[in-house]
């Protein structure tokens, strides 16, 4: 499997159709985090579904749009109106993965991330860490028209500073 930097229009349409079928069948209200893999041979295939806000959508906490994923989820569950969703600025997120197994996770490097401009650190507060487990996320933002690749690199570098001990 190769690493994809972008998704084609056809792949996006396939993923959207699959997500629509799954979430309509499950019914309910709120945000559904539906994730897919892209493969050279299989194309788009289902990976995971979360019937709640998901860490992959936490980039919205950087103010990248007028309503965060959590605000959208609450409004949908409560039946409140959702106005037009607008992109306010560009954003990026990078996950903090545990490299250790521990029942009492501690963190190093948080201070360095908190010194970064236009960057937020979110630790999930999980009681145990396992190798490869998502333990937090760093989200960064920049004005529209800025370099998205540079923002992604900044965000990944910030997340790499946080170590689970």
Domain-by-domain residue ranges, the chain?
A: 53-164
Predicted confidence (pLDDT) per residue in 85-120, tens digit = 999 999 999 999 999 999 999 999 999 999 999 999
Question: Which fold does the domain 53-164 belong to in CATH?
Answer: D-amino Acid Aminotransferase; Chain A, domain 1 (3.30.470)
Predicted confidence (pLDDT) per residue in 9-62, tens digit = 888 899 999 999 988 898 888 888 888 888 877 789 888 888 887 777 888 888
pTM: 0.76
- What is the CA 95 to chain-centroid distance, rounded? 8
């Amino acid at each position: 499997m190769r690493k994809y930097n972008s998704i084609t229009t056809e792949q996006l349409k396939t993923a959207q159709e699959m997500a629509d079928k799954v979430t309509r069948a499950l019914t309910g209200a709120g945000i559904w985090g539906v994730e897919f893999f892209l493969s050279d041979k299989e194309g788009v295939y289902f990976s995971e579904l979360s019937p709640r806000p998901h860490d992959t959508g936490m980039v919205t906490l950087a103010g990248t749009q007028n309503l965060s994923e959590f605000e959208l989820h609450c409004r949908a569950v409560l039946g409140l109106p959702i106005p037009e969703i607008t992109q306010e600025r560009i954003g990026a997120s990078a996950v903090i993965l545990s490299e250790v197994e521990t029942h009492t996770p501690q963190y190093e490097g948080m201070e360095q991330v908190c010194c970064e401009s236009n960057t937020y650190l979110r630790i999930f507060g999980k009681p145990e860490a396992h190798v490869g487990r998502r333990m937090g996320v760093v989200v960064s933002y920049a004005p529209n028209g800025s370099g998205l690749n540079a923002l992604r690199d900044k965000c990944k570098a910030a997340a790499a500073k946080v170590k689970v001990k």
